Structure 1
Amino acid sequence: MTALPVPLLVTRAREAAEGWSALSFREREHQLRRWAAELARARAGIVATICRETGKPAGDAELELVVGLEHVSWTARHAERVMRPRRVAPGLLAVEHRAVVVRRPLGVVGVIGPWNYPALTPLGVLAGALAAGNTVVFKPSEYTPDTGRALAEAFERANPGSGAVLQVLPGAGEAGAALCRAGTDKIAFTGSTRTGQAVMAACAESLTPVVLECGGNDALIVAEDADVEAAARAAAWGAFSHAGQTCAGVERIFVAEPVSEAFIAALTRELDPVRAGEHYGALTTPAQEAVVRRHVEDAVDHGGRFLFGGNGSFRAPGVIDPVVLTGVAQDRPAVHEETFGPLAVLRVVRDLDEGIRLSNSVPQALGAAVFSASADEGVAARLRAGMVSVNGVLTFGGIAALPFGGNGASGFGRVHGEEGIREFTSAQSVTVRRLRLTGSGVTRLRSPWWKRPLLRAALHRHRTPRDLP
């Protein structure tokens, strides 16, 4: 694919949007499902590309792609139902009219993807935007350009002649900034909070709406009635898979005091055989290693201690074995900031209530996990997080029907599921006059409005509400 100037890419996408949005839902569904089939056929090459660009093991890359295909397939099949026009009651004042809410595609969507999950994350976003009837200009991370290119090339192979429906914009930060100012109808960004703020500022110049997924600092809470072994397995995987480079991965662990010794022993058993370069890959960027080192050194300098691992965990550039710290004050960077590396901070708490309070004490509000035999949706309601797993970790990310996103410093808006389709639409309100009743309506200039029967009836209804105690 030849790199084109950003304005030209957006112009081509705008031209293609008319034809793409005019397709029936069934036709777009077929194109998206053919795309998923082509990605599955090209699996070996795409997995190899992900491994080369991110450093993750082949099994992790394959899992990433398979989950991404689930999102594409689900979105393709359900877009028509989600966008079906919805009838609403017109009310007494507009009784002559039929009232409908219609979801319309926005037009052209700019998608800025991350490097940590260069296939899964874009596929979920691209599927929602395309299924809703938009065309897309997609800027993959400069660290994973070939993975992004492979996704778009698979769409073209599956649907010959569709080139301008999904285009790739290569480049680094300056390309993303140009896309934000190029006149798209929405920008969907996944990345750091700092970059998300820059994206939002650039889009504000033209009032271009944004959906931002800016990472997290997620907690796993182990209550005193938890299955300790299951919680330890989940903590190990949630904190250290992909070297901890997961936006909704576990960074903070809160363990109720009655089960703390048993949990720490179980977590130690889980982590003892784990080695970077074997069970997970190296860090993708040198900058990320610098963050991990800074957080560890600061924590230890201020009274923190190694519960697992140590300075010897830093075995080679980018190759870091698991590190678990304890005794770290709440205001230290290792607790308050997102590390995005193979580091977890563990704290023993009195009970579930204290774990929830501390979980909610950071500015990020992306995901959370709770292990408890008695926990349910009620516990989730107390957590300031966009997504919660009870007796599991990261399970929400693998369910295509669930929306993905957070609040606070983790961003706003949602991708995946029904909300992820609606995110790339606008609501259009439509009224159609179907009756002509004498004395109704509010559009005639003749006679005072209070003399019209329906208006007088409405006023009387508000003066004498019958449904109030």
Structure 2
Amino acid sequence: MATVLPEGTANNTAERTFDSLNPATDEVVGTYPITTPAEVDAAVARAHDAARFWDELGFAGRAQRLRKWKSIITRRLPELCALVRAETGKPEGDAQLEIVLAIEHIEWAAKHAKKILGPQRRSPGLLLANNAASVEYHPLGVVGAIGPWNYPVYTPLGSITYALAAGNAVVFKPSEHTPGVGKWLVDTFAEAVPEQPVLQLITGFGETGAALAASDVDKIAFTGSAATGKKVMATAAQRLTPVVIEGGGKDAVLVDADADLDAAADATVWGACANAGQTCAGVERAYVHEKVYDDFVAKVVEKVGTVRGGSDMDAQYGPMTMRSQIDVIRRHVEDALERGGKAVYGGLDSIGERTVQPIVLVDVPEDAAAVREETFGPTVTIAKVRDMDEAVARANASTYGLGSAVFTRGKGVDIARRLRTGATSINAPLSFAGIASLPFGGHGDSGFGRIHGPEGLREFARPKAIARQRFSPPLSLTSFSRTKATEKLVARMMRVLHGRSR
């Protein structure tokens, strides 16, 4: 059995519980049970029963319940913001940002599910013109969602909301670092849907997540590291359970010679440092045209000088949620400096016991860990390039392919199309993540499948094709009574319709 989300420390009591800790103070935020594999299976069994109830509500009934849930979250926004801050350490303003984006996604999915997943007519073609053709999308049944800790509301709801709107029940395992947020979301959903356990919570460490991946769910939605995503896939493969994986990123921003440098520098600093750099689609690399490189670096250094991490109310971002990530950041920075890179802002002294202050590195070799591996901290490498062709080539030379950004006045769409990432924003940071109608996901080590948008709804549904004969065909092709004359007539028709090259 694969190990899923192994981080954390259990409280070895007879009840098998673990504590959620405030990363700024190590204060216990809450104590939660470690759900056993048997209890996971029981939750999934309940979910299958609940899924039938949820499906029978239809699109309108589900939309009404989702909007009721959305209203509860909105009215109790300060309460959820405080809980997110307590478990992740991020400022409440950042917590509010991810929550309001999640609220927008709930509304979008509720509003558009029927249009996207309802019956749609298709052309039957000439040979089968006597048929009416249609396709519709049915719920998968039960979706298992394994969520991350860095955006404990926005990211898991990107799967959960769309799975629910598509008619599925969901069993949700939040990160062991943010179980309180997960419980809050499940409890408030139960207020909107009290009849059946349509959305259930399971909590724990690797054993619990592995049990969910191995259970009788109809799909797994996972967000986390690429390495853990592979383990989830291996476990799910035992039942041929499909998966959608969001496995992190090493996203780049490309800055052309004609770019608005102030805007590009501001986006780079925000993309690198927001949420302490703990953003899968955050900025970790910058490739800048040589004509504006020096000015850009100077503007980044100036802007990053106003940004400070900490646990006080005035800090722009919080401490590292997962303490072990500090060792990764230190290793990347040490490697970069040892290999000739320079810290133009911050450095090894910026790495504290709980909080990492911003670090800006230049002249870092492309094969250094700080360029190749996901750092997941408030750091960014900046490299000089001859032109955007070189910038695109360097940006694409990565095992990741999640998001990207381009700053230019004239060639943004052309450059964006050449970047091998799931999404690109032009002259703005991460705007694609906030637009509910756009799909989100990547390729390579960033995973596969999509959440959000029409693609996100279809990700959690199975297409059903229906062909209905309206009248007897003039030419019987699918019968042993078919004649040689019919075959010759069909061959002649095909030559007329398709035999000519154009």
TM-score after normalising by structure 2: 0.90
**What SS is found at the alignment partner of 1:94?**
coil
Question: Which of these residues, 130, 136, 145, is aligned with residue 102 of structure 1?
Answer: 136
Q: Is it true that 1:159 corresponds to 2:196 in the alignment?
A: no
Alpha-carbon distance in structure 2 between the residues aligned to 1:47 and 1:302: 42
**What SS is found at the alignment partner of 1:133?**
coil
CA deviations on 1:377-403 (whole Å, 9 max, x unpaired) are 222111001000011110001111111
Question: Which of these residues, 1, 5, 9, is aligned with residue 43 of structure 2?
Answer: 9
Q: Is it true that 1:419 corresponds to 2:452 in the alignment?
A: no
Q: Is it true that 1:406 corresponds to 2:442 in the alignment?
A: yes
1:220 Cα offset (Å) = 0.4
Alpha-carbon distance in structure 1 between the residues aligned to 2:424 and 2:430: 8
Question: Which of these residues, 473, 478, 481, is aligned with residue 446 of structure 1?
Answer: 481
Question: Which of these residues, 340, 350, 365, is aligned with residue 303 of structure 1?
Answer: 340
**What SS is found at the alignment partner of 1:285?**
coil
What's 1:358 paired with? 394
**What SS is found at the alignment partner of 1:90?**
coil
1:169 Cα offset (Å) = 1.0
Alpha-carbon distance in structure 2 between the residues aligned to 1:390 and 1:81: 29
Alpha-carbon distance in structure 1 between the residues aligned to 2:189 and 2:284: 36
CA deviations on 1:354-410 (whole Å, 9 max, x unpaired) are 111100001100001010001232221110010000111100011111111001110
What's 1:237 paired with? 270
Question: Which of these residues, 176, 179, 200, is aligned with residue 145 of structure 1?
Answer: 179
What's 2:5 paired with? none
Preserved contact between residue 439 and residue 455 of structure 2 (Cα < 8 Å): yes
- Within-5 A mapping of 1:311-350: 311-314=348-351, 316-350=352-386
Preserved contact between residue 118 and residue 148 of structure 1 (Cα < 8 Å): yes
Q: Is it true that 1:192 corresponds to 2:225 in the alignment?
A: yes
Q: How many aligned positions are there?
A: 463
Alpha-carbon distance in structure 2 between the residues aligned to 1:209 and 1:372: 39
What's 1:383 paired with? 419
What one-letter code is carried by the residue in structure 2 that aligns with 1:147? V
What one-letter code is carried by the residue in structure 1 that aligns with 2:209? G
Alpha-carbon distance in structure 2 between the residues aligned to 1:351 and 1:255: 8
What's 2:323 paired with? 286
Alpha-carbon distance in structure 2 between the residues aligned to 1:318 and 1:451: 82
Alpha-carbon distance in structure 1 between the residues aligned to 2:371 and 2:389: 18
What one-letter code is carried by the residue in structure 2 that aligns with 1:420? G
Preserved contact between residue 243 and residue 281 of structure 1 (Cα < 8 Å): yes
* CA RMSD between the two structures: 1.4
Alpha-carbon distance in structure 1 between the residues aligned to 2:154 and 2:287: 29
Alpha-carbon distance in structure 1 between the residues aligned to 2:500 and 2:93: 60
- Unpaired stretches in structure 1, ≥5 consecutive residues: none
Alpha-carbon distance in structure 1 between the residues aligned to 2:74 and 2:473: 59
What's 2:283 paired with? 250
**What SS is found at the alignment partner of 1:318?**
coil
Alpha-carbon distance in structure 1 between the residues aligned to 2:382 and 2:412: 23
Preserved contact between residue 152 and residue 167 of structure 1 (Cα < 8 Å): yes
What's 2:253 paired with? 220
**What SS is found at the alignment partner of 1:167?**
strand
Alpha-carbon distance in structure 2 between the residues aligned to 1:311 and 1:88: 61
Alpha-carbon distance in structure 2 between the residues aligned to 1:117 and 1:323: 22
Preserved contact between residue 92 and residue 458 of structure 1 (Cα < 8 Å): no
1:421 Cα offset (Å) = 0.3
Alpha-carbon distance in structure 2 between the residues aligned to 1:20 and 1:271: 49
**What SS is found at the alignment partner of 1:147?**
helix
Preserved contact between residue 406 and residue 412 of structure 2 (Cα < 8 Å): no
Question: Which of these residues, 42, 52, 62, is aligned with residue 86 of structure 2?
Answer: 52
1:438 Cα offset (Å) = 4.5
Preserved contact between residue 365 and residue 408 of structure 1 (Cα < 8 Å): yes
Alpha-carbon distance in structure 1 between the residues aligned to 2:438 and 2:178: 26
Alpha-carbon distance in structure 1 between the residues aligned to 2:475 and 2:387: 65
- Within-5 A mapping of 1:17-28: 17-28=51-62
What one-letter code is carried by the residue in structure 2 that aligns with 1:274? V
1:339 Cα offset (Å) = 0.5
Quick one: percent identity of the two aligned structures?
A: 46
Alpha-carbon distance in structure 1 between the residues aligned to 2:118 and 2:269: 43
Preserved contact between residue 360 and residue 381 of structure 2 (Cα < 8 Å): yes
CA deviations on 1:37-77 (whole Å, 9 max, x unpaired) are 00112212211111011110110001111111001111101
Alpha-carbon distance in structure 1 between the residues aligned to 2:286 and 2:206: 34
TM-score after normalising by structure 1: 0.96
Preserved contact between residue 67 and residue 106 of structure 2 (Cα < 8 Å): yes
What one-letter code is carried by the residue in structure 1 that aligns with 2:281? A
Alpha-carbon distance in structure 2 between the residues aligned to 1:291 and 1:447: 70
**What SS is found at the alignment partner of 1:388?**
strand
CA deviations on 1:406-432 (whole Å, 9 max, x unpaired) are 011100000001110000001111111
1:160 Cα offset (Å) = 2.2
